[in-house]
Amino acid sequence: MSLATDFIVIGSGVAGLRAAIALAEKGARVSVLTKDKTSESNTEYAQGGVAVVLAEDDNAELHEEDTLVAGAGLCDVSAVETLVREGTRYVKQLIDWGTEFDREGGKLIFTQEAAHSRRRILHAHGDSTGAEFVRSLIARAGAEPLINLTPFATTEKLIVSNGRCVGVRFLDPILRAPREIVGRAVIACTGGAGQLYLHTTNPGVATGDGMSMAYLAGAKIADIEFVQFHPTALSLENAPRFLLSEAMRGEGGILRNRYGERFMPGYDERAELAPRDIVARSIILEMRKTGTRTVFLDMTALDGKFLRHRFPKIFETCLAYGLDITKDPLPVSPASHYFMGGIRTDLDGRSSLPGLYAAGEVTCTGVHGANRLASNSLLEGLVFGARAGEAAFADSSGIDASAFEIAAEPPSPPDTTIVAVRKRVKRIMWERVGILRERGSLGRAIEEFDQMLASDLGSRSRNFVTLAKLVAVAALWREESRGGHFRTDFPDRRDEFLVHSIQQLGESISTEPVDTEMGASAL
């Protein structure tokens, strides 16, 4: 017998928690399912901060323009305007809820990051902004008795009945067996898919399940070829690919090659403050030129006391691996970091599948275009998480979840292949669908994914391979270079590809126009 609630939220990052709060405030029962502990999400690992228009010398038009420039022509303008103009209100609300942003003399401290024209980035506890978001949102959600947080509940698939998403199948953490839960709507806030790649800054939970489950249920997936690789992840043997924040370069950090030479001015006039995709590609090219696996991020010209205060978590982590950021150049190389594409939604989180809503990195609202502007991701989760929760409630007022009839499914066999499958996929993605792409390697990747999908895979393995193939197919189709997608055989932008790529189960890849005016893009 399936469980029943009013709404199901998958994921407990900023988008999921904000959506759950919006629903509970309207008197709805909300079940929040998350595959690890409640605080484990991409949000918790966000160091850079949150971009928001609150400084006296800033305005919405400037923030919108910076976002559009970074997005390389693929941003939907209405989504960008919604993000920026509503973001200020929601960040102020977070402050009212007890979020502790860094201050000096009682005033908020604003910092600058690459591709921002103003100092508009708020931080919390130096480089632990995401963790502070999660802390304050969990505290706020905990004050709502209608929100039921269920950790260690891995979602396997979406349940569709008569063309509507009515629930999810998940692994019950207590029974250690599959269970179904139904509701008036499902809101997917499952985050990104950095774990598709061999090298990533993302936590282990970022496996892209929400995107692949939505695709297999019939929802549209958009712009999935656009993957942002963070330029500066700590690159040491036997150490995790720990992210060294964009803000380190924003504060004056210099990138040097093995010979101690500064190289970024030779690739772009903005040097270390160029957009992430340019910096990441420049590092790859410099490593090839010098025959090395790393370059170095040099912070030693900055005041040591300032660095320890500004980047406390980074300082302590590096110190644990024998590196003092105030004295030692830090070995770095790029790693997968953020997905601009995902479940195609409108500005209220509605997907093309009735009953399925989504918010945060799992989506493609068009707000990031081909390349996300630094520190817009936490803002996106906050704004569109709230909007998705409110829309799901408004759209389903007459629906009775207890009336849904769910067909019983036999228990899934244990996914014994998952470790081996993921290991193989991660290497294929890094080597053939990575920072530099070309037709031959993309084609070979797709062939390998097809062979894997033709075998007997468990549900989580199938989700993983399915999403990897979606990325490779879209990357092969887009015969140009734009933002986070770079083709060595098509190095220039091409006007005919100034469209969103769309993939839907059982159909060939299609396109949608970019929204250049106010008003949501059509689904």
Amino acid 2: pLDDT: 78
Stretch 65-85: mean pLDDT = 95
**CA–CA separation, 44 and 17 (whole Å):** 12
At residue 427, φ and ψ (nearest 5 deg) are -70, -40
Is the pLDDT at 42 greater than 60? The verdict is no
The answer to whether 200 and 206 are in contact (CB under 8 A) is yes
**CA–CA separation, 363 and 313 (whole Å):** 29
The more confidently predicted of residues 520 and 285 is: 285
Among 314, 335, 356, give the residue marking a domain's end: 335
**What digits encode the pLDDT tens for the residues 188-241?**
999 999 999 999 999 888 999 999 999 999 999 999 999 999 999 999 988 888
Amino acid 311: pLDDT: 92
- In this prediction, residue 37 has a pLDDT band, given cuts at 50, 70 and 90, of confident
Amino acid 508: pLDDT: 96
Specify whether 355 is located in the same domain as 466: no
Specify whether 245 is located in the same domain as 109: no
Indicate the number of domains in the chain: 3
Strands 185-188 and 356-358: parallel
Residue 462: CATH number of its domain: 1.20.58.100
Strands 155-161 and 164-172: antiparallel
**What digits encode the pLDDT tens for the residues 254-302?**
999 999 999 999 999 999 988 788 899 999 999 999 999 999 999 999 9
Helices first, then strands: H and E counts in the chain? 13, 23
The answer to whether 434 and 487 are in contact (CB under 8 A) is no
Is the pLDDT at 522 greater than 50? The verdict is no
For residue 121, what are its two tokens?
């980035």
- In this prediction, residue 41 has a pLDDT band, given cuts at 50, 70 and 90, of low
**CA–CA separation, 154 and 520 (whole Å):** 32
Stretch 137-154: mean pLDDT = 93
Specify whether 256 is located in the same domain as 391: no
Among 290, 318, 335, give the residue marking a domain's end: 335
Three-class SS state of 40: coil
**CA–CA separation, 383 and 395 (whole Å):** 18
Specify whether 107 is located in the same domain as 67: yes
168 found inside a domain: yes
Residue 313: CATH number of its domain: 3.90.700.10
Amino acid 519: pLDDT: 45
Among 307, 335, 363, give the residue marking a domain's end: 335
Amino acid 43: pLDDT: 55
Specify whether 15 is located in the same domain as 134: yes
Residue 89: CATH number of its domain: 3.50.50.60
Q: Identify the DSSP state of 106.
A: T
Amino acid 114: pLDDT: 72
442 found inside a domain: yes
H-run or E-run covering 139: helix 129-142
Inter-axis angle of helices 77-96 and 377-395, nearest 10: 90
Specify whether 127 is located in the same domain as 30: yes
Is 276 in the active site? Answer: yes
Residue-range definition of the domain harbouring residue 193: 3-222+340-398
513 found inside a domain: no
Amino acid 131: pLDDT: 85
Specify whether 9 is located in the same domain as 140: yes
501 found inside a domain: no
Specify whether 44 is located in the same domain as 161: yes
For residue 175, what are its two tokens?
């029974």
The more confidently predicted of residues 511 and 204 is: 511
**What are the distances in angstroms from CA 469 to CA 200, 453, 475?**
18, 9, 10
Specify whether 361 is located in the same domain as 431: no
**What are the distances in angstroms from CA 375 to CA 76, 78, 387?**
18, 19, 19
Specify whether 177 is located in the same domain as 283: no
519 found inside a domain: no
Amino acid at 89: R
Stretch 125-131: mean pLDDT = 79
410 found inside a domain: no
**What digits encode the pLDDT tens for the residues 312-334?**
889 999 999 999 999 999 999 99
Inter-axis angle of helices 129-142 and 14-24, nearest 10: 20
Specify whether 137 is located in the same domain as 20: yes
Average pLDDT of the residues of the chain: 92
**CA–CA separation, 503 and 195 (whole Å):** 21
The answer to whether 233 and 199 are in contact (CB under 8 A) is yes
Active-site choice (276, 281, 437, 487): 276
Q: Identify the DSSP state of 495.
A: G
517 found inside a domain: no
**What are the distances in angstroms from CA 104 to CA 34, 163, 247?**
36, 54, 18
**What digits encode the pLDDT tens for the residues 456-499?**
899 999 999 999 999 999 999 999 999 999 999 999 999 999 99
Stretch 419-447: mean pLDDT = 97
Residue by residue, what is the 3-state secondary structure of 255-321?
Answer: EECCCCCECHHHCCCCHHHCCHHHHHHHHHHHHHHHCCCCEEEECCCCCHHHHHHHCHHHHHHHHHC
- In this prediction, residue 521 has a pLDDT band, given cuts at 50, 70 and 90, of very low
Residue by residue, what is the 3-state secondary structure of 423-485?
Answer: HHHHHHHHHHCCCCECHHHHHHHHHHHHHHHCCCCCHHHHHHHHHHHHHHHHHHHCCCCECCE
Is the pLDDT at 520 greater than 50? The verdict is no
Beta-carbon neighbour count of residue 74 at 10 Å?
26
Specify whether 156 is located in the same domain as 46: yes
pLDDT above 70 covers what percent of the chain?
96
508 found inside a domain: no
Stretch 26-53: mean pLDDT = 79
**What digits encode the pLDDT tens for the residues 240-256?**
888 898 889 989 999 99
